[in-house]
């Protein structure tokens, strides 16, 4: 527990009393950023799945991997 009143707040701690809550605009922007990151992750996973459904790609990938040894 942080007993020093002048020390920076600990991570995950509550804001001091009387502090204003974060603005709605910042929270909305954070939500959009999080949504865009998830959309990117899902698109990358779907792209990977689509490539693995092509047998020619798998053979090419295996040949490239084998040529490293």
Identify which has the larger pLDDT, 66 or 12: 66
Predicted model pTM: 0.50
* Sign of the dihedral through C-alpha 23, 35, 15, 6: negative
C-beta of residue 53 within 8 angstroms of C-beta of residue 47 = no
Residues 27, 63: Cα–Cα separation, whole Å: 48
Report the pLDDT value the prediction gives residue 30, as an integer from 0 to 100. Answer: 87
**Residues in the chain, how many?**
69
pLDDT beyond 60 at 24: yes
pLDDT (mean) for 4-33: 71
């Amino acid at each position: 527990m942080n007993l020093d009143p002048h020390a920076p707040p600990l991570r995950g701690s509550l804001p001091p009393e009387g502090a204003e809550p974060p603005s709605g605009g910042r929270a909305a922007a954070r939500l959009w950023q999080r949504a865009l990151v998830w959309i990117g992750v899902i698109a990358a996973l779907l792209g990977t799945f689509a490539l693995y459904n092509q047998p020619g790609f798998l053979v090419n990938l295996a040949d490239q991997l084998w040529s490293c040894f």
